[in-house]
Copies of this chain bind each other. A is one copy, B any other.
């Protein structure tokens, strides 16, 4: 098995949990926030700062100009490049699971990838957020819309492709229908069958 499994996911759909389960089933490493931690270590910025920059990457041209100046590459772009290098270095080490961070796009040319998109129904996601974050259903729905919008914009900005367009993925699953264990099993089986 030489594949890198990338997992893109709607907010609160269970993409990270499924990634961890697939990693366990296949006995391969799982990378999610680790990528931010390594990028932080190599760039000298704190993980919190990188995450903040990442989330506002496409929010404001003025912000980027104020940080990077007119003639410099915006800081968000510099950090994206650093993150791409970390993702490639992790993929160079062999089969693994990489969640988020446009990994499907970053690795598309030089690596044998199996690209997954995890989604879920609003109700399933709202219930999870209400349980974990102790917020109202309306607040949970607002969080979902806001987070998904940020991910869509971030992906579009860096890849010029559409986040959640089926043509970018080998497999897409609705976790409200499949549940986490079944979803993880389908992914693990698919990769194992295509060694």
- A residues in contact (CB < 8 Å) with B: 10, 114, 117, 119, 162, 164-167, 169-174, 177-178, 182, 186, 190, 193-194
Contacts and interface: CB of A to CB of B under 8 A. Distances in A.
A167 B166 contact: no
A77 B99 CA distance: 43
Contact of A177 (B10, B173, B182, B190): B190
Contacts of A173: 170-171
A181 to B, nearest CB: 11
Contacts of A186: 186
A174 B10 CA distance: 20
**Chain multiplicity (copies):** 2
A170 B164 contact: no
Given A182-B193, A186-B186, A174 B165 contact: no
Given A165-B164, A193-B182, A171 B170 contact: no
A190 B178 contact: yes
30 contacts: A10-B167, A114-B177, A117-B166, A117-B172, A119-B166, A119-B167, A162-B165, A164-B165, A164-B166, A165-B165, A165-B166, A166-B166, A166-B169, A166-B172, A169-B172, A169-B174, A170-B173, A170-B174, A170-B178, A171-B172, A171-B173, A171-B174, A171-B177, A171-B178, A177-B190, A177-B194, A178-B190, A182-B190, A182-B193, A186-B186
Nearest to A191: B177
A191 to B, nearest CB: 9
A194 B121 CA distance: 15
A171 B186 CA distance: 11
A46 to B, nearest CB: 34
